[in-house]
């Protein structure tokens, strides 16, 4: 099991065997960074479930299972569940939101894998809420607390909220927030690709896995001939940041922002060029097939003669995927553990 699955399984056991009495009869159950699991069906028996998930593949899976996302209605929250993530500031941000939205006397439950810093997160939750009770299963901790406003550390709550919100990062000048890829510093691979982009990019282009818009912005600054640019990104918070980071180009270039799972297909094609620094991790685990899916999506979306500009870790074998789709690798440069690849469709 990966960390998300372990956290879900531990929560299943906790609620089914140990703490059914914590499931409210009525009201709302809000689940932050929700993932599928038996716990959802259990709480839906007696309460309305509001899932909060900004990762598109997981959000789509939850939607297919019948769970709706509506962050605008956070009244009547009797139970808030938080799934830990690998980003400490993001997890604390979700803890603060959950605690703030809970009704007085409501229950906060956190499920955290040990590899995601469960002991530390438990201590921080106790610091926020006053005290917690803990349960261990599947190399995870599930801990819970009751909201009593007179015991809460409100200064800590406001600090965690402020730290996790979208903001301009002084070191980069870009809007970003914890939880996004390379959120507080420009990724070296992306920087290498940006510096190699030609000034003759023209027409109709796409940025796959666009993040908070760094590659798109660099391309638009370098190539005034870009007329239309589509950004595809699975993390909705990153797309919100990209909109702000590219706002000044809207008068010059037609911009389209897609909250999308690239591996499921783009839905548009005929691009003159595609830019990407494809991901190859899910959570903390390596998954090279993810990057290969990006290569496939990019090449299928190019028009004849269109070019793919990409950067990847040197050891990842994307050239075979490119050639299998009848594209031609025009150039490959290796630098600082990365390789820059330019491929063209015949």
Domains and CATH numbers, the chain: 3-165 (3.40.50.150), 180-344 (3.40.50.150)
- pTM above 0.75? yes
CA distance 122 to 33: 17
For residue 146, how many other CB atoms are within 10 A of its CB?
17
- Residue 307, token pair as written in the block: 């070019």
- Is 231's pLDDT higher than 80? yes
Would you give the end-to-end CA distance of the chain in angstroms? Answer: 42
- Compute CA distances 267 → 302, 303, 307, whole Å: 12, 14, 18
- The predicted pLDDT at position 75 comes to 82
The answer to whether 222 and 196 are in contact (CB under 8 A) is no
- The predicted pLDDT at position 286 comes to 47
If we measure between CA atoms, which residue out of 50, 48, 59, 8 comes closest to residue 30?
50
The answer to whether 309 and 273 are in contact (CB under 8 A) is yes
Secondary structure letter of residue 235 according to DSSP: B
CA distance 298 to 276: 9
Percent of the chain with pLDDT over 90: 86
Q: pLDDT (tens digit, 9 = 90+) per residue, 144-157?
A: 999 999 999 999 99
Q: pLDDT (tens digit, 9 = 90+) per residue, 126-177?
A: 999 999 999 999 999 999 999 999 999 999 999 999 999 999 999 999 999 9
Mean pLDDT across 216-245: 98
Q: Is the dihedral of CA 259, 64, 116, 81 positive or negative?
A: positive
Q: Where are the alpha helices (DSSP H) in 273-324?
A: 288-301, 319-324
- Is 284's pLDDT higher than 90? no
């Amino acid at each position: 099991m990966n960390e998300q699955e372990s956290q879900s399984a531990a929560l299943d056991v906790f609620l089914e065997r140990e703490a059914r009495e914590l499931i409210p009869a009525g009201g709302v159950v809000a689940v932050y960074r929700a993932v599928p699991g038996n716990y959802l069906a259990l709480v839906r028996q007696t309460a309305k479930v509001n899932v909060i998930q900004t990762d598109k593949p997981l959000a789509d899976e939850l939607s297919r299972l019948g769970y709706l996302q509506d962050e605008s209605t956070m009244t009547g929250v009797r139970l808030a569940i938080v799934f830990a993530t690998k980003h400490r500031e993001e997890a604390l941000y979700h803890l603060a939101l959950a605690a703030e939205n809970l009704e007085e006397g409501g229950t906060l439950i956190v499920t955290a894998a040990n590899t995601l810093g469960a002991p530390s997160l438990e201590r921080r939750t106790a610091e926020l809420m006053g005290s917690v009770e803990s349960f261990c299963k599947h190399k995870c901790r599930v801990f819970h607390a009751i909201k009593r406003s007179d015991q809460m550390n409100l200064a800590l709550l406001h600090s965690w909220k402020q730290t996790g919100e979208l903001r301009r990062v002084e070191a980069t000048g870009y809007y970003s927030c914890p939880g996004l890829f390379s959120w507080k510093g420009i990724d070296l691979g992306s920087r290498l690709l940006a510096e190699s982009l030609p000034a003759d990019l023209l027409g109709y282009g796409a940025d796959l896995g666009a993040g908070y818009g760094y590659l798109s912005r660099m391309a638009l600054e370098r190539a005034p001939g870009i007329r239309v640019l589509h950004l595809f990104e699975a993390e909705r918070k990153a797309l919100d940041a990209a909109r702000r980071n590219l706002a000044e180009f809207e008068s010059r270039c037609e911009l389209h922002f897609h909250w999308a799972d690239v591996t499921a297909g783009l839905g548009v094609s005929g691009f003159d060029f595609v830019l990407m620094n494809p991901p190859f991790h899910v959570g903390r685990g390596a998954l090279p097939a993810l990057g290969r899916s990006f290569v496939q999506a990019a090449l299928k979306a190019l028009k004849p003669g269109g070019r793919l500009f990409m950067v990847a870790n040197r050891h990842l074998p994307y050239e075979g995927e490119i050639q299998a789709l009848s594209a031609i690798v025009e150039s490959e440069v290796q630098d600082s553990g990365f390789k820059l690849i330019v491929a063209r469709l015949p």
